[in-house]
Amino acid sequence: MAGSSRPSWRCRRAAARGAVLLAACAAACGGPRPVVSNIQPVPRHIVLVTIDTLRADRLGCYGNHDVATPNIDRLAREGALMSQVTSHVPLTRPSHTTILTGLYPAQHNIRDNVSPSLGADVPTLAEQFERAGFETAGFVSSVVLSSQSGLARGFRTYSQKFADEEENDARFLNTIQRRGDVATGEAVDWIKGHGTNRTFVWLHLYDPHDPYEPPEPYASRYADRPYDGEVAWSDELVGRLDRALADAGIRDDTLLVVTSDHGEGLGEHRESVHGFFVYQTTLHVPMIARGPGVRAGTRIDATTGLIDLFPTLLTAAGLPVPGEPKRPGRSLSRAWKGEETLADEPSFAESLTPLVHYGWSDLRSVRDGRWKYILAPRSELYDLSRDVQELNNLEPSEPARARAMRSGLERQLRSEAAQPRATGDPPAVSPELLEKLGALGYVSPGAPSSRGSTGADPKDKIDEYKTLNRLMREGLVALRTKNYAATADRMRTLVGKGVDSFEVHYYYARALAGQRKCPEAAGHFARALELLPAFGQAYIGLADCQVAAGNATAAAATLERGVAANPRDPQLLERTAELWRHLERPDKAIALYERELPLASSDALVRVRLAELYRDAGNPTRAIALLQEAVKLDPQDASSWNALGMVLGGTGDLPGAERAFREATGRDARDAQYAYNLGLALERLGNVGEASSWYQKALERNPGFTAARERLDAARRSR
Ligand SMILES: [Zn+2]
């Protein structure tokens, strides 16, 4: 199916040579005539749309006849189409980082979806636009691109609202992405309100990424090929965006670029999704540009890459491209105007997944014109002009060409190794995010590569990879719905297959703990911690097991080990402090909470807990200071105000106590205790009349409140 719908490379190149052919195509496609109006050559607005996981060969303008993509096809007719664009890494976050920095993954150092944030010293495209006075806005649809990635830098608006992350519904995969119409709607609303200044907008649509669940009518129309349905749906969203530009009156002033971060295997080469191999299924991406400075009907058949977008968008907007760090890409903007004919340039790509997560060999590829070479234990050479599906390995029959391409690739790898790497923050992936990414297939069951490479060719491992990945995903989806038996079953199978990784032991332990099999769980938590000693959640899980088994002292020792390994993990510090408090060791609890404070600068509750300990330890001054911080951080919490009133009252500051209790009753008018406390403070201040009315309110709220009744009776007698 996929093969037959692909245009032959040679055909497309022929089409590019003749304007006549092109015009004939435009007429045959039934679209409006290309618009070559008297538009300004420099766009005021730049809109970049990345449609995640979009194979070039699924679009009509790339020769597909089975998927309706009228909007993108129209953009291609009205603008420029790059027919041979390479993604440099088939993974969402590394590839988007390349798009937004113009650097190869080895240069920006984001090699994986769970990498640390992008280094603060790496300039981003949005920063360049922002610095030039553009209003900038990004709208992303996957948790992988949340601001933790570092890609929000330079965007004044960065919309990344996903569904309620606490939701435990069975469809949780969909709660960590959002449907494209939501992000598109937000982008459209933003565009409506920002037409006057120059703008740079990035819209990321995640819909063609698995799971494939297009909305109607695409679900029915593409019932047996839902991926194509997602593509057609994404095309509709591009149409909505383009209409919004017209409605805002800025379409003729806007450079609109549509591209993708990588493609999708869809079963070719036995790869279902993406991120493992470096075949064209996942590396060949579309790129279309329409707007000022783009001659309608332009086709560029030279090999180009996503690395080219950074310099292209800046030069198209009339902005300088920063010289440092040196970028491998080139600007396509003169070619878009028809002022330059581009030559082929080698384009490199990588997949480290087999090495990093499984200890097999990594894969590297270079595309140069019609030729593509894949460096692997059994290397591959393809002539894409005849064999776009990469079925016929020509390495044995073209040894000289293979050798030449291999040495070019090795030169590139040597220069990558010699270049200074961007430094990222330390890994800051929350346990929740890790679990979500795992269920998306982003965290693999294999161990990080400390065990080194076995050198196995990924081609020989694809079935094993799929099995391991499937078990991991099924296990995590089950864990999300607390189906602990199902999770334990999958993880047990993985352990049985010899997988001895941190993730497998950790999730196995979580599932066993969920089934109250604590002794067994403890063993797997302990193994997980041997493999990754800095993972705070595993200490907490193990300690919970030990508490459940009645051994709180052992639990405290476990948590203390965790704190020693993660001295800056606020959650771990808090859990350890709580346990010591429970074990009636306020001295230890206080010390740990104090360490947590600067790491939890917006957490009111930890301040309340610590204040209670100081109050009980006879240090009301410190307690008051902490409670004042707490009510400042969370003024709506009536209980903090009440706690503050109690400590102030204890020190004899009755006016302060009265004010605090008024804040408490004002925020929670149903609580009898707060009303009673306010009454007491007023009575001590000599205001017996108002005190009585608060005792009365306390009794109305809780008719069995004996102390309130006694105070009320006494007050009445004394009058
Ligand atoms: Zn992606």
Q: How far is the CA of 94 from the centre of ligand 1 (A)?
A: 9
Helix (H) or strand (E) holding 513: helix 502-514
Q: How far is the CA of 284 from the centre of ligand 1 (A)?
A: 13
Q: How far is the CA of 47 from the centre of ligand 1 (A)?
A: 19
Q: How far is the CA of 687 from the centre of ligand 1 (A)?
A: 68
Q: How far is the CA of 68 from the centre of ligand 1 (A)?
A: 22
Give the contacts of 523 (CB within 8 A, at least 6 positions apart).
509
Q: How far is the CA of 569 from the centre of ligand 1 (A)?
A: 30
Burial class (CB in 10 A: 0-12, 13-18, 19+), 642: buried
Q: How far is the CA of 41 from the centre of ligand 1 (A)?
A: 32
Q: How far is the CA of 354 from the centre of ligand 1 (A)?
A: 17
Q: How far is the CA of 53 from the centre of ligand 1 (A)?
A: 5
How many of the other CB atoms lie within 10 Å of CB of 77? 21
Per-chain residues with Cβ under 5 A from ion ligand 1: 52, 92, 261
Q: Is 421 left (phi over 0), alpha (psi -120 to 50) or beta?
A: beta
Q: Which residues pair with 200 in a beta bridge?
A: 46, 136
Q: How far is the CA of 51 from the centre of ligand 1 (A)?
A: 8
Q: How far is the CA of 282 from the centre of ligand 1 (A)?
A: 10
Q: How far is the CA of 515 from the centre of ligand 1 (A)?
A: 36
Q: How far is the CA of 316 from the centre of ligand 1 (A)?
A: 25
Q: How far is the CA of 142 from the centre of ligand 1 (A)?
A: 9
For residue 152, what are its two tokens? 């929000």
Q: How far is the CA of 52 from the centre of ligand 1 (A)?
A: 5
Q: How far is the CA of 624 from the centre of ligand 1 (A)?
A: 50
Q: How far is the CA of 381 from the centre of ligand 1 (A)?
A: 26
Q: How far is the CA of 93 from the centre of ligand 1 (A)?
A: 7
- Contact by Cβ (8 Å): 63, 55: no
pLDDT of residue 421: 58
Q: How does DSSP assign 532-570, residue by residue?
A: -TT-HHHHHHHHHHHHHTT-HHHHHHHHHHHHHH-TT-H
Task: Fill in the DSSP letter of residue 177.
Answer: B
pLDDT of residue 37: 47
Tallying the residues shown for the chain, one arrives at 719
Q: How far is the CA of 402 from the centre of ligand 1 (A)?
A: 30
Q: How far is the CA of 209 from the centre of ligand 1 (A)?
A: 7
Q: How far is the CA of 82 from the centre of ligand 1 (A)?
A: 20
- Contact by Cβ (8 Å): 230, 208: yes
Q: How far is the CA of 264 from the centre of ligand 1 (A)?
A: 9
For residue 333, what are its two tokens? 């903007």
Q: How far is the CA of 578 from the centre of ligand 1 (A)?
A: 41
Q: Which residues pair with 289 in a beta bridge?
A: 80, 257
Q: How far is the CA of 373 from the centre of ligand 1 (A)?
A: 23
Q: How far is the CA of 651 from the centre of ligand 1 (A)?
A: 60
How many of the other CB atoms lie within 10 Å of CB of 58? 31
Q: How far is the CA of 513 from the centre of ligand 1 (A)?
A: 34
Q: How far is the CA of 468 from the centre of ligand 1 (A)?
A: 21
Q: How far is the CA of 519 from the centre of ligand 1 (A)?
A: 40
> Alpha-carbon distance 46 to 38, whole Å?
19
Q: How far is the CA of 465 from the centre of ligand 1 (A)?
A: 19
Q: How far is the CA of 581 from the centre of ligand 1 (A)?
A: 46
Mean pLDDT in order along the chain per 10 residues (719 residues): 39 38 40 47 95 98 97 98 98 96 93 80 96 96 86 92 48 60 95 90 94 93 97 98 96 97 97 95 98 96 97 97 91 95 95 83 95 96 97 96 95 82 50 60 48 76 89 87 94 87 88 92 90 82 90 94 88 94 95 93 92 96 97 95 96 96 95 96 95 96 95 87
pLDDT of residue 601: 86
Q: How far is the CA of 31 from the centre of ligand 1 (A)?
A: 30
Q: How far is the CA of 510 from the centre of ligand 1 (A)?
A: 29
> Alpha-carbon distance 437 to 439, whole Å?
5
Q: How far is the CA of 158 from the centre of ligand 1 (A)?
A: 18
Q: How far is the CA of 92 from the centre of ligand 1 (A)?
A: 3
> Alpha-carbon distance 225 to 541, whole Å?
42
pLDDT of residue 626: 97
Number of Cα atoms under 13 Å in the Cβ half of residue 540: 16
Q: How far is the CA of 400 from the centre of ligand 1 (A)?
A: 35
Q: How far is the CA of 591 from the centre of ligand 1 (A)?
A: 45
